[in-house]
Amino acid sequence: MGWHGKILRVDLSKGTCKAEDLNQEWARNYLGQRGLATKYLCEETDPKVDPLSPDNKLIFATGPLTGSMASTGGRYSVITKGPLTNCIACSNSGGYWGAELKFAGWDMVILEGKSKKPVYLFISDDEATLMPADDLWGKSVWETEPTIKARLQDPQIRVTSIGRAGENGVLYAGIINDLHRAAGRSGVGAVMGSKNLKAIAVRGTKGDKPHDPKAFMEATVAGKKVLAENAVTGQGLPTYGTQVLMNVINEIGAMPTRNWREVQFDGAAAISGEAMHEPRKSDGKANLVTNQACFGCTIACGRISKIDEEHFTVKTKPEYWHASGGVEYEAAWALGSDTGIDDLEALTYANYLCNEDGFDPISFGATVAAAMELYEMGAITDKDTGGIELKFGSVEALTTLTELTAKGEGFGKEIGLGSKRLCEKYGHPDLSMTVKGQEFPAYDARGIQGMGLTYATSNRGACHLRSYTVASEVMGIPEKTDPLVTDGKAGLVMAFQDATAVVDSSGLCVFVTFAWSMEDIAPQIQAACEGDWSVENLLLTGERIWNLERKYNLSAGMTAKDDTLPKRLLKEAAKTGPAKGKVNDLGKMLPEYYELRGWTTEGVPTNETLDRLAL
């Protein structure tokens, strides 16, 4: 019925696992995954909780379309309070794990308390057991996953786990499933580590039961046809992955470079999606081996790469000569353009390490970039870095710091705390390119004005996946708007935020929205679930979810003052490209946004708004 109607509650302090009925009223109001788990978190925890304390909860949640035949229906999200941001954290991942949890008969897993000793959770259909993980602690994701499968003698088990970054309290540690798919942002992996939980292994054999299977098949087949015939989801993404954007965004002058000092990167072509297809001079092979899909996905944007065996980073390390997840656009940007590095093989190596030990390449790369600027200014010295010459463009500096951060050693410990804390410590808080403590993704808000408002108002700190107005402002989806003007952007951002909240709560991947409107999505949800899932009700649900997250953040101590951007974006104009001379005009968009949202001038939802949304 879309939902199994069953959740698993694990008390790590007591070592107990018990099944509970899903709150169906909440499911009707919040759909699933992101929305529904946020509702549980709000009801069960104090928003002022210390994110790394046992009182915080960690929720793994699927949506009603997770594990279904809907294209991209394989997503899950991890919802908790994030240690990087002190806001709501909600990180979404693909791969196969989410679908497997659904097949085992569970809609979500709520983990509370803290285990005395390292444990992992094993779910085999109805049975859930906490298993000792003392000997897995200190191991990477890439060691943990095969070890658990071998130990349980079942290669069909799917595993999600933390690496050493999550154990060591890297504030942007992620949770990695299927070796290279990540619930990457906001430090959800650090929360898992703080609970002494190493992994969740799942084997499910119960399958998925949509409410109306025949209608569901018709709706999902129609949806897949739309994706296949669309230029972005049918051609661009399968061929180049998200890396299709590298050259495009650079050309429009919205490619943040060297800690956002510049907006175009002269090395962009060398680290682009096109470059991943080119035979290397060294061995005649391309960096890219193949594209790969997540569960149920007919787009298949995932990159599978192999590093050049002769590259200095891996020449003496045959353990990295195998294929694995290659760089996506965000990783290529943060590890590459933001640090001024145009060595695709080095970026692939750094990306491998981020997956191997579970940390977010966006926040990591951006923190290294901030450290490089501080180093070039003299605010950070060789004494601080332990002798690493932290210059922009230094491949050695990047790869050494990746290794140190993974292991929690040396200057890597400071990099692991993120750029906000780093820049504050060294006396230049303005140089941290963050909102609410979370590092920006790969779109310069001077060249794409709507993204400034997107970042400033995102409920999980700077993020492109809360309202991807790039779709409209650059790609013309659903209609083209001028990236350099602010008119109409408040409404655009709000519409994207609400629609994205729906997609993130359904079990689908947000990439479907390049081709699908809400009119394509609604019939699929309607056929999977009982209840009213008209377009109108879905959008109201999205708005409700957005406001619930906002309420959580306000209760956690956020105010309108946190809805802002670093000075660099508001005062330092872009130096080159189509946006030359522009800053981000957030001040023109934000008041209108608050008004459209039905919030006070202080960014607080009015009682009228809360009543309208039944909050």
User: Where do the H-state alpha helices sit in 302-441?
Assistant: 329-335, 344-357, 361-377, 382-385, 395-407, 412-415, 419-425
Nearer to another protein, 119 or 353 (CB): 353
Between residue 14 and residue 73, which ones bind another protein under the rule CB under 8 A?
67-69, 71
Distance CA 469, CA 25 (A): 32
Q: Do 170 and 418 form a contact (C-beta atoms < 8 A)?
A: no
Question: How far is C-alpha 71 from the chain's CA centre?
Answer: 20
- Phi then psi for residue 279, to 5 deg, are -60, 135
Nearer to another protein, 248 or 275 (CB): 275
When asked if residue 317 is in the footprint of another protein (CB under 8 A), the reply is no
486 vs 79, 131, 450, 500, CA distance in Å? 32, 54, 7, 21
Q: 141-151 vs 344-357: helix axis angle to the nearest 10?
A: 50
When asked if residue 235 is in the footprint of another protein (CB under 8 A), the reply is no
When asked if residue 606 is in the footprint of another protein (CB under 8 A), the reply is no
55 vs 17, 49, 119, 327, 380, CA distance in Å? 17, 7, 18, 36, 36
When asked if residue 215 is in the footprint of another protein (CB under 8 A), the reply is no
Q: Which of 141, 219, 254, 297 binds another protein (CB under 8 A)?
A: 297
DSSP letter, residue 318: G
- Phi then psi for residue 412, to 5 deg, are -55, -30
When asked if residue 106 is in the footprint of another protein (CB under 8 A), the reply is no
Q: Which of 13, 132, 154, 213 binds another protein (CB under 8 A)?
A: 213
When asked if residue 286 is in the footprint of another protein (CB under 8 A), the reply is no
Q: Which of 1, 49, 52, 179 binds another protein (CB under 8 A)?
A: 179
Give the burial string for 371-398 (b: 16+ CB within 10 Å, else e): bbbbbeeebbeeebbeebebebebbebb
Beta-strand pair 197-203/119-124: parallel
Q: Do 175 and 78 form a contact (C-beta atoms < 8 A)?
A: yes
Nearer to another protein, 293 or 604 (CB): 293
Report the length, in residues, of the chain: 615
Q: Do 33 and 504 form a contact (C-beta atoms < 8 A)?
A: yes
Stretch of residues binding another protein (CB under 8 A), selected from 287-295, 364-372, 497-505, 582-590? 287-295
Q: Which of 63, 189, 204, 358 binds another protein (CB under 8 A)?
A: 204
Nearer to another protein, 103 or 349 (CB): 103
Q: Which amino acid is at 475?
A: M
Distance CA 238, CA 227 (A): 11
Q: From 309, 291, 302, select the one nearest 329 (Cα to Cα).
A: 302
Q: Which amino acid is at 378?
A: G
Q: Which of 215, 293, 539, 604 binds another protein (CB under 8 A)?
A: 293
Nearer to another protein, 216 or 496 (CB): 216
Number of residues that bind another protein (CB under 8 A): 37
65-94 footprint of another protein as x/- string (CB under 8 A): --xxx-x-----------------------
CB atoms under 10 Å from CB of 534, counted, come to: 14
Nearer to another protein, 19 or 217 (CB): 217
Q: Which amino acid is at 594?
A: Y
Q: Which of 215, 226, 323, 604 binds another protein (CB under 8 A)?
A: 323
Q: Which of 272, 324, 405, 459 binds another protein (CB under 8 A)?
A: 324
Q: Which of 210, 236, 241, 253 binds another protein (CB under 8 A)?
A: 210
Stretch of residues binding another protein (CB under 8 A), selected from 1-9, 284-292, 434-442, 460-468? 284-292
Beta-strand pair 434-435/438-439: antiparallel
Stretch of residues binding another protein (CB under 8 A), selected from 159-167, 200-208, 464-472, 555-563? 200-208
Distance CA 228, CA 110 (A): 36
When asked if residue 282 is in the footprint of another protein (CB under 8 A), the reply is no
DSSP letter, residue 511: G
Q: Which of 19, 150, 217, 485 binds another protein (CB under 8 A)?
A: 217
Q: Which of 77, 298, 434, 505 binds another protein (CB under 8 A)?
A: 298
DSSP letter, residue 438: E
Distance of closest approach, residue 9 Cβ to another protein, in angstroms? 25
> Tokens 């803290």, residue?
114
Distance of closest approach, residue 591 Cβ to another protein, in angstroms? 45
Nearer to another protein, 151 or 206 (CB): 206
When asked if residue 96 is in the footprint of another protein (CB under 8 A), the reply is yes
Stretch of residues binding another protein (CB under 8 A), selected from 115-123, 199-207, 261-269, 450-458? 199-207
When asked if residue 277 is in the footprint of another protein (CB under 8 A), the reply is no
Distance of closest approach, residue 281 Cβ to another protein, in angstroms? 21
Distance of closest approach, residue 147 Cβ to another protein, in angstroms? 15
When asked if residue 208 is in the footprint of another protein (CB under 8 A), the reply is yes
Q: Do 567 and 106 form a contact (C-beta atoms < 8 A)?
A: no
Beta-strand pair 324-325/302-305: antiparallel
When asked if residue 181 is in the footprint of another protein (CB under 8 A), the reply is no
Q: Do 298 and 270 form a contact (C-beta atoms < 8 A)?
A: no
When asked if residue 295 is in the footprint of another protein (CB under 8 A), the reply is yes
Measured at the alpha carbon of residue 466, what is the angle toward residues 463 and 471, in degrees to the nearest 5? 95
Q: Which of 206, 280, 428, 575 binds another protein (CB under 8 A)?
A: 206
Nearer to another protein, 129 or 205 (CB): 205
Q: Do 521 and 512 form a contact (C-beta atoms < 8 A)?
A: yes
Stretch of residues binding another protein (CB under 8 A), selected from 166-174, 255-263, 283-291, 482-490? 283-291
Structure tokens at 474: 């650059």
348-387 footprint of another protein as x/- string (CB under 8 A): ----------------------------------------
Q: Which residues bind another protein (CB under 8 A)?
A: 67-69, 71, 96, 99, 103, 179, 204-210, 213, 217, 224, 228, 238, 289-298, 300, 304-306, 322-324
